[in-house]
Amino acid sequence: MNPAANGLPERIRLVVGALPPPGTLPEPYPFETLTPQQEGYVETGGVKLWYGVFGEVGPWLCFAPLNQIATASSFKANVPYLSTQFRVLVMDLPGTGKSDRPTSPRAYRLDQYLSHFCAVLDHLGVDETTLIAVSFNTLLALRFAAEQPQRVTRLVIVGGFADSTANGAAAQEAVAKSLGQMRSEWPKHLDRFWSSLFTEPHSTKAIEDGVHFSCASTDDVVAMTRAGWIGHDVRELAARVRCPTLVIHGDGDQRVPYAKGREIADLVPGATMLTIGGGGHLPMVRDPVAFNRAVRDFAQPPRLDRQWIRGMARKPRALFISSPIGLGHVQRDLAIAREMRKLRPELEIDWFTADPAARYLVNEGERLHPMASRLANESRHFESVAGEHDLHAFFALRTMDEIMARNFMVFADVVESESYDIVVGDEAWDVDYFYHENPELKRQPFVFLTDFVGCLPMSDDEREQHLCADRNADDIEHVARYPWIRDRSIFVGNPEDLPDQTFGAGLPNIADWTQKNFCFSGYALPFDPATLADTERLRAKHSYRLDEKLVIASIGGTAVGRPLLQRIAAAFPRMKKQLPELRMILVAGPRLAAEAFPEHEGLEVRPYVHNLFEHLACSDLALVQGGLSTCMELVATRRRFLSFPLERHFEQCIHVRNRLHNYCADCSVRFAELGPNELADRALAAMHAAIAYRPVETDGALRAAQHIVNVLENRQWAAG
């Protein structure tokens, strides 16, 4: 991507890169984590309008259609959660999204929008609804609530205004000039517009999304849109609204002054106001947790039966959140949990994760919290953004914002309704981020674990460096402002495993900062290597012969490694020809079908292998992706291996390789440099390579468990 493309100004260039072509919908549209229960088109006035309904139970909650400079995807941090308790309607106005794009200015008048909205409600049979209006569509909502009071049971106004008239010649001239600039300087207009909406620090992702949403429309459509709603005054109608009304407005809103929201709260009889201190124009985007909870509570969904247990009758309980990206995290987490139970036998542990980690835990007899079924799947997201053995991990994390918002809301409901003595999160970035953004929600001690610190750019691209640094700065500022959110931060490793690099220009050194803010457990293995030292016993247990050369190829718990397994399979015939006693096991994982690979004598494809480390421990060679867990297990059991780090995966290419180097075990090769024949030759040579690995510590899980139990028992901080 050329960051200077399309004449983007400097400020927006570092955030969004090149603009997509006009009329381009965000992909996926409108939401990544759920599909509508119902969607379709309603034709009114010769215009086809798209709508989507999400959720099957509860009262109606309808979002008034947004200005054409945005799309229904703007509600991606809200609808996935709210649709678990409401039937939620979103729609696209003419000129954007999936709706028609008429060319007549008459199609973009406010009265047309109201008739469009009513037509969709009539089509769906919506007789009563909580209506949510954002910004300009407050004009529509106040009129609708005043003129059809029987249909609006509650009204939520966000960043709204009731008067769009341009007073005086100077004001009218300014409006005309703005409309002209919109058409003649579209990229600069987007820069000014979205930067004025998101005044909160570290809003680069929100600005980026906004610009991309704008590309679902065009400059001409947006100009006609604005001309269509300028000149309206519904303040008199606001005074006629009789339904309960909640006004949400940021006191730092630079697009619609806070006084405009205050005016609506004063005009609507009995209205209440939620002020977002330091907030900008679109709190449902920048502060989705506060917004979602405010809407949920205001709209009064049916409440579930609840139980309250007297404090002294409660058993000690822990909620353990394990990252579901692959299986390495959950295996070490289970090892830590078992050590916790040894230290505190009475402790009950519930697990909170998604597949494939959830499936592993169930197979191990662990209790998965029932609400975990509502979690969006992170593995699926990573698979969707991967290329051929290429995963830009930073941007994969960056585009996971919808998943993070949805999953945190589910988590927040769990800890609000149940009593836990401690929450443990292994790379629970969603909980960690939103706890720091909403510190009042923390209800019990929180321990954060990770095996890497710092997002690092994988190129000299100025945009990537800027965005990585911005994310790191956000994390650093969070910890500095609210050090008590993380009662203990545990680095699953040792100080020397940290890269000697900065978090970005003007930011601290990663190793120095981490040593000040984390304690260290050493690596946490899910087994004792001594129990796997008898390879003859392991081979007999898993039906491998002693006279065969065993090669195991594995890619972890996602489908991201499919190209690697396919290339290894293509290399197998050459390897088999030179080594007739060769037997190769392709572990495709739970998300790949065996049919995706060729059939050869001596080549076996398995969809899933429970406790794969036992099989790796008796292999002659392992061919694996560059993930930390599998590589460290191979080092611990002193097995020969080649690892293939995913291209542009900063964790595998920098953090993991740095750690493997410390253990004298950096056996990394580049996937792009080895065709099937070269891979075969390299693998055969690796089977005879000398092993000089440094021993892997065996008490990491215990040390991590001791830190966690110390927090549970409120003991003094113990570093190291």
3-state secondary structure labels for all residues of 207-235: HHHHHHHHCCCCHHHHHHHHHHHCCCECH
Looking at the chain, the whole-number percentage of residues with pLDDT higher than 90 is 80
Number of helices followed by number of strands (H, E) in the chain? 28, 19
Task: Please state which of the ranges 58-62, 245-249, 300-304, 437-441 shows the lowest mean pLDDT.
Answer: 300-304
Place of tokens 């989507």: 52
**pLDDT at residue 713 greater than cutoff 60:** yes
The answer on 268 and 123 residing in a single domain is: yes
For the beta carbon of residue 292, count every other beta carbon within 10 angstroms.
22
pLDDT at 179: 67
Task: Please state which of the ranges 100-104, 219-223, 339-343, 529-533 shows the lowest mean pLDDT.
Answer: 219-223
3-state secondary structure of 131: strand
18 occurs within a structural domain: no
Task: Please state which of the ranges 15-29, 133-147, 383-397 shows the lowest mean pLDDT.
Answer: 15-29
Confidence of residue 392 (pLDDT cuts 50, 70, 90): very high
pLDDT at 607: 83
Q: For 12-59, what is the HEC assignment?
A: HHHHHCCCCCCCCCCCCCCCCCCCCCEEEEEEECCEEEEEEEECCCCC
Cis peptide upstream of residue 201 (ω within 30 degrees of 0):
no
The answer on 569 and 504 residing in a single domain is: no
pLDDT at 62: 98
696 occurs within a structural domain: no
The answer on 85 and 213 residing in a single domain is: yes
CATH code of the domain covering residue 45: 3.40.50.1820
What is the sign of the dihedral through the CA atoms of 526, 531, 536 and 537? negative
**pLDDT at residue 484 greater than cutoff 60:** yes
The answer on 55 and 67 residing in a single domain is: yes
pLDDT at 590: 66
The answer on 517 and 571 residing in a single domain is: no
| Greater pLDDT, 674 or 557 | 674
214 close to 74: Cβ distance less than 8 angstroms: no
For the beta carbon of residue 509, count every other beta carbon within 10 angstroms.
15
The answer on 169 and 133 residing in a single domain is: yes
pLDDT at 172: 60
Q: Provide mean pLDDT across the span 191-207.
A: 93
Looking at the chain, the whole-number percentage of residues with pLDDT higher than 70 is 95
Domain count, the chain: 3
**pLDDT at residue 368 greater than cutoff 60:** yes
**pLDDT at residue 647 greater than cutoff 60:** yes
Confidence of residue 420 (pLDDT cuts 50, 70, 90): very high
Task: Please state which of the ranges 9-23, 55-69, 400-414, 660-674 shows the lowest mean pLDDT.
Answer: 9-23
CATH code of the domain covering residue 428: 3.40.50.2000
Confidence of residue 4 (pLDDT cuts 50, 70, 90): very low
Q: Provide mean pLDDT across the span 553-582.
A: 92
Which tens digit of pLDDT belongs to each residue from 681-698?
A: 999 999 999 999 999 999
691 occurs within a structural domain: no
pLDDT at 182: 73
Distance CA 12, CA 335 (A): 46
| Greater pLDDT, 577 or 591 | 577
Task: Please state which of the ranges 72-86, 169-183, 240-254, 470-484 shows the lowest mean pLDDT.
Answer: 169-183
Distance CA 333, CA 358 (A): 12
Domain boundary among 240, 267, 299: 299
What is the sign of the dihedral through the CA atoms of 398, 399, 403 and 409? positive
Distance CA 49, CA 92 (A): 6
Residues in Cβ contact with 611 at an 8 Å cutoff, skipping those fewer than 6 apart: 331
Distance CA 585, CA 643 (A): 16
720 occurs within a structural domain: no
**pLDDT at residue 30 greater than cutoff 60:** yes
Give the burial class of 324: count Cβ atoms within 10 A of its Cβ; 0-12 exposed, 13-18 middle, 19 or more buried. buried
For the beta carbon of residue 685, count every other beta carbon within 10 angstroms.
10
* Closest residue by Cα to residue 251 from 273, 271, 277: 277
Structure token pair of residue 110? 């406010």
pLDDT at 473: 98
Which tens digit of pLDDT belongs to each residue from 107-127?
A: 999 889 999 999 999 999 999
The answer on 64 and 82 residing in a single domain is: yes
For the beta carbon of residue 718, count every other beta carbon within 10 angstroms.
11
Q: Provide mean pLDDT across the span 544-565.
A: 90
pLDDT at 286: 98
Confidence of residue 3 (pLDDT cuts 50, 70, 90): very low
pLDDT at 233: 94
Residues in Cβ contact with 171 at an 8 Å cutoff, skipping those fewer than 6 apart: none
638 occurs within a structural domain: yes
* Closest residue by Cα to residue 583 from 606, 609, 550, 612: 550
Q: Provide mean pLDDT across the span 420-447.
A: 97
**pLDDT at residue 524 greater than cutoff 80:** yes
409 occurs within a structural domain: yes
For the beta carbon of residue 270, count every other beta carbon within 10 angstroms.
10
The answer on 483 and 554 residing in a single domain is: no
Structure token pair of residue 447? 């321990």
Which tens digit of pLDDT belongs to each residue from 445-468?
A: 999 999 999 999 999 999 999 999
Q: Provide mean pLDDT across the span 223-249.
A: 93
Distance CA 628, CA 145 (A): 57
113 close to 86: Cβ distance less than 8 angstroms: no
490 close to 432: Cβ distance less than 8 angstroms: no
Domain boundary among 234, 269, 299: 299
**pLDDT at residue 180 greater than cutoff 80:** no
pLDDT at 380: 87
128 occurs within a structural domain: yes
126 close to 51: Cβ distance less than 8 angstroms: no
Confidence of residue 7 (pLDDT cuts 50, 70, 90): low
* Closest residue by Cα to residue 159 from 188, 179, 139: 139
Q: What is the length of the chain? A: 720
The answer on 210 and 123 residing in a single domain is: yes
| Greater pLDDT, 59 or 301 | 59
The answer on 81 and 162 residing in a single domain is: yes
pLDDT at 21: 85
**pLDDT at residue 396 greater than cutoff 90:** yes
The answer on 382 and 434 residing in a single domain is: yes
Confidence of residue 720 (pLDDT cuts 50, 70, 90): very low
**pLDDT at residue 6 greater than cutoff 50:** no
Which tens digit of pLDDT belongs to each residue from 620-633?
A: 999 999 999 999 99
Confidence of residue 229 (pLDDT cuts 50, 70, 90): confident
Q: Provide mean pLDDT across the span 497-509.
A: 97
Place of tokens 């293509």: 570
**pLDDT at residue 593 greater than cutoff 70:** no
What is the sign of the dihedral through the CA atoms of 638, 642, 647 and 653? positive
Confidence of residue 2 (pLDDT cuts 50, 70, 90): very low
Share the mean pLDDT of the chain.
92
Distance CA 527, CA 266 (A): 64
Cα 378 to Cα 38, 218, 369, 519, distances in angstroms:
25, 33, 17, 27
Confidence of residue 5 (pLDDT cuts 50, 70, 90): very low
Q: Which domain holds residue 583?
A: 529-686
The answer on 148 and 41 residing in a single domain is: yes
- DSSP percent split of the chain into helix, strand, coil, nearest 5: 45, 15, 40
